[in-house]
Amino acid sequence: MPKVGFVSLGCPKNLVDSEVMMGILARSGYEITPRAAEADVLVVNTCSFIEPAQKESVQAILEMAEYKKFGSAQKLIVAGCLVERFRNDIREQIPEVDAVVGTGEVEEILRAVRGELEGGTEEIRNQKSEIRKEKSEEKRRQAAALQKGQESPTWLYTDATPRVFTTPRHAAYIKINEGCDHPCTFCIIPELRGQFRSRRFESVVREAENLAQAGVREVTLIGQDTTAYGEDLGIRDGLPTLIERLAQVDGIEWVRFLYCYPNRVTPRLLETIAAHAKLVKYLDIPLQHASRTVLARMKRGSSGEAFLGMLKRIRKTIRGVSLRTSFLVGFPGETEKDFRELCDFVREAEFDWLGVFAYSDDETAESFVLDGKVDAETIEDRREQLMAIQKKISARKLHSRVGTRVTAMLEGPSKETELVWEARHEGMAPEIDGKIIITEIAGDAEPQQGQMATVEITKAHEYDLIGKVVKLHGCSAGFTPAPESAREVAPRDASPFRVLA
């Protein structure tokens, strides 16, 4: 069978889509390869959330097109969010592209690879692409109206959907919902991903159970707004109910969820996290800004004062909680006063982890027509200032851990050198936060990826910790290494692709 190579860009939500597409192809007999040079078919799963992501996606497509021109690749397929934005442009401007697969068409990847993908609904898709090119308010309204129609993405995967996992053996993402109904003026996710929709409760639980049986020890729940899980299904307190159930799954050590919406961080959610040891004491709450004026223009509401009150309640309920957030600087109308207010807020809030994004115009976003645009140089300067403030906070908080002992999950040998291992405590999310660099492992026992351990912190850097393992928890913690029965291929990042039986 032909070999298929994948390039997956963007967030973990997009990665899950890539894993599903690989699973569908692997189930049909295709071999997944990490080496583009030997692939017969290349698939680029793109991101289009912000302008830099669009540029990265286009560059990746062009790079893969070179393999089709001069390598063994016979077919190039583009998938993901960029397709929802520029379906026609991709086909017209990059003739090497043979097929496109949107975010609601993930299951069509097999037909695309086989060359069977027909236009079916091409007329309305073309209409959407043409409408999005227009910058006028009237055309944007047409695009929004059309997006709410029958062509809005509605697809959701289930526990029965095949996946090829690209994460380390002991960790996996579970997408619990898709799409978004929030009206944020800077965001085009509803256009790219469709309206909010949740997976069935039982399906999520079964997937977690299957993952545990395959050796996964940490599951990270993702969705555009995980805290809204189940609202569309009529489930009261959907997320607290779900994570409480997942905490009962044998074999799972940590349950984590990302992307909380501030006004949905409820007392019930906090109390549930505090009550269960397997629910990590960690919350990721993108706040976007702290100025009431800017938040109003973003159509997110609230204020820095209200956020501080929320953070106080969180820390009071969940002892030792780690907090992550992200902000958007340079939003239209953001004054120097607004930015100073944001800086003061960050100093007072003292987040453990923080990301800062620079605003960029998108012609299909509502913010495109707002006045008070901030120039690019000022935006970048503000981004650097805010990160400098957080850098000091992170360094101070990490340094306070020196001399303490934490329970950590061993990630395996470092990708930079096999002389040291890496680990994470529960306040460190995979990929996006810092890590613990393990320089010494006590005893004669052989450590395993995904094994829990007691780690003594000996040193701190700006974003990472240095430590030594003083105790491996081993079988007493219910640990068994992941089975070797699943097919493996070493991917670009050296973590194995694997197919669940």
pLDDT at position 146 over 90: no
pTM for the full predicted model = 0.89
Give the distance, in angstroms, between the CA of residue 55 and the centroid of all CA atoms in the same chain: 19
Give the distance, in angstroms, between the CA of residue 501 and the centroid of all CA atoms in the same chain: 25
At what angle are helices 122-133 and 137-147 packed, to 10 degrees? 150
313-355 pLDDT per residue, tens:
999 999 999 999 999 999 999 999 999 999 999 999 999 999 9
pLDDT, residue 126, reads 47
Residue 278 tokens, joined: 């397997």
Q: What percent of the chain has pLDDT over 70?
A: 88
Task: Give the single-character DSSP code of 108.
Answer: G
**pLDDT category, 133, cuts 50, 70, 90?**
very low
pLDDT, residue 491, reads 36
pLDDT, residue 27, reads 96
CA distance 325 to 330: 17
User: Alpha-carbon Rg of the chain, whole angstroms?
Assistant: 23
Give the distance, in angstroms, between the CA of residue 109 and the centroid of all CA atoms in the same chain: 21
Nearest residue to 408 (alpha-carbon basis) of 433, 386, 390, 384: 433
**Cβ(426)–Cβ(254) below 8 Å:** yes
Which domains, from first to last, does the chain contain?
3-118 (3.40.50.12160), 165-280 (3.30.750.210), 405-477 (2.40.50.140)
Phi and psi at residue 348, to the nearest 5°? -80, -35
pLDDT, residue 151, reads 63
Q: Dihedral (C-alpha) 68, 72, 77, 79: value to the nearest 10 degrees?
A: -100
Least confident of 208-222, 350-364, 446-460, 483-497: 483-497
CA distance 170 to 159: 18
Instruction: Tell me which range, 118-122, 152-156, 460-464, is most confidently predicted by mean pLDDT.
Output: 460-464
**pLDDT category, 127, cuts 50, 70, 90?**
very low
pLDDT, residue 62, reads 96
Nearest residue to 354 (alpha-carbon basis) of 363, 345, 367, 341: 345
Neighbours of 399 (CB within 10 A): 15
**Cβ(351)–Cβ(389) below 8 Å:** no
